């Protein structure tokens, strides 16, 4: 089982779109998830939380969030973009599952989302 809340199909799609080797992206997502888990208390105070349709919840972070986190984690531009795309894709999929697609899409126009494993 992956140590991140992104579905496998969406991992493949995000890696392809960002031109990141598919064998590398799961490790990037796991590294990002460890970072997110370590900062979750801060996110609870700082960001709006949206409950997902499955085992993920989302925090609505400021634009540029993934670039900043990626730089802190040593990710290059393609790598942090792939992580951002994966989190966005999972958020969009959950929006469709919850029949809140328009609301979730509007959120992405203003914010970057951070998917967190709701079971941990």
Tokens of 36: 């997110």
Taking all residues of the chain, what is their mean pLDDT, rounded to a whole number? 92
Of the listed ranges 2-6, 42-46, 94-98, 111-115, the least confidently predicted one is 2-6
pLDDT digits (tens, 9 = 90+) for 27-64: 999 999 999 999 999 999 999 999 988 778 999 999 99
Spatial CA neighbour of 119 closest among 60, 52, 66: 52
CB 32 within 8 A of CB 41: no
pLDDT of the residue at 1: 45
Q: According to DSSP H, which parts of the chain are helical?
A: 8-17, 25-38, 40-46, 65-73, 77-97, 101-110
Q: Per-residue pLDDT averaged across 102-116, rounded?
A: 95
């Amino acid at each position: 089982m992956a140590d991140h809340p992104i579905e496998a199909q969406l991992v493949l799609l995000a890696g392809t779109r960002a031109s990141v080797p598919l064998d590398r992206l799961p490790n990037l997502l796991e590294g990002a998830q460890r970072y997110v888990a370590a900062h979750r208390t801060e996110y609870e105070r700082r960001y709006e939380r949206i409950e997902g349709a499955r085992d993920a919840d989302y925090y609505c972070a400021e634009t540029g969030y993934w670039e900043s986190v990626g730089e802190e984690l040593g990710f290059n531009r393609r790598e942090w973009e792939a992580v951002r795309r994966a989190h966005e894709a999972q958020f969009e999929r959950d929006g469709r599952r919850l029949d809140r697609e328009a609301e979730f899409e509007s959120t992405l126009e203003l914010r970057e989302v951070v998917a967190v494993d709701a079971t941990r």
